Amino acid sequence: MSVVSYKQEDFIGIVTIERPEALNALNTAVLNELNSTFANINLETTRVVILTGAGTKSFVAGADISEMAPLNNSEAARFSNKGNEVFRKIETFPLPIIAAINGFALGGGCELAMSCDFRVCSENAVFGQPEVGLGITPGFGGTQRLARLIGLGKAKEMIYTANAIKADEALNIGLVNHVYPQETLLEETKKLAAKIAKNAPFAVRASKKAINEGIDTDMDRAIIIEEKLFGSCFTTEDQKVGMKAFLEKIKGVEYKNK
């Protein structure tokens, strides 16, 4: 039985983790299916991806403790490596990915959400890295991405105390961009995705690449990355169409991803 589903709506791909009976906890099967699902997304017909969890209680409640508990040192390191490989694939995926967080995003769930480009959540969402309360560290990038997103001090507090935070605090500290009522979360996320999808796809993808590659280097090198990607846009038909429409005051231009 599949534990990850994929649906296409126009230019928007929707990836859903389908283990509601386990609050969508991450196990090896979920990680493997996430990997294969993203590997099979058509980059020509898709412009933005939404990642969410099934049901109304949980995005992903964490990694599956029942699978992790009996692991030895080397087995645990391999499990961490598997999760990190999948999450890194999501983080560096060519298309923008929005996490639509519909409830718990704890441990591996918070780490999965952080690997997306940005996050929106429902009013009942709860975020946290509770691993130290289980005798372990975050293992899917939590010690690295959380500090980059919300700052070193707050990240250390969340990880060291294992305290969870609610949607309003997640918004205040910049962990999420928007908070919506549970019943409108997916529709509001689709609206955001549609705004992205209407723009020139090559330019959006180049912007993601410039941000991701430039953020961890010095400004002089980062600017060179941007210059090259800026220049690459001028090889596309969409650049010519977009600028022509601007100069001629043509509204409603449709980009062809060429």
- Tell me the catalytic residues: 111, 131
Task: Report whether 122 contacts 182 (CB < 8 A).
Answer: yes
Directed axis angle between helix 142-150 and helix 152-161, to 10°? Answer: 140
Name the token pair of 83: 């999760």
**Of 173, 181, 174, 163, the residue nearest 121 (C-alpha):** 181
Task: Report whether 114 contacts 141 (CB < 8 A).
Answer: yes
How far apart are the C-alpha atoms of 140 and 86, rounded to whole Å? Answer: 9
* 3 state DSSP class of 146: helix
How far apart are the C-alpha atoms of 250 and 55, rounded to whole Å? Answer: 43
Angle at the Cα of 32 (from 30 to 36), degrees rounded to 5? Answer: 115
Angle at the Cα of 41 (from 187 to 29), degrees rounded to 5? Answer: 90
Segment (H or E) for 9? strand 4-9
Please tell me what DSSP assigns to residue 26.
B
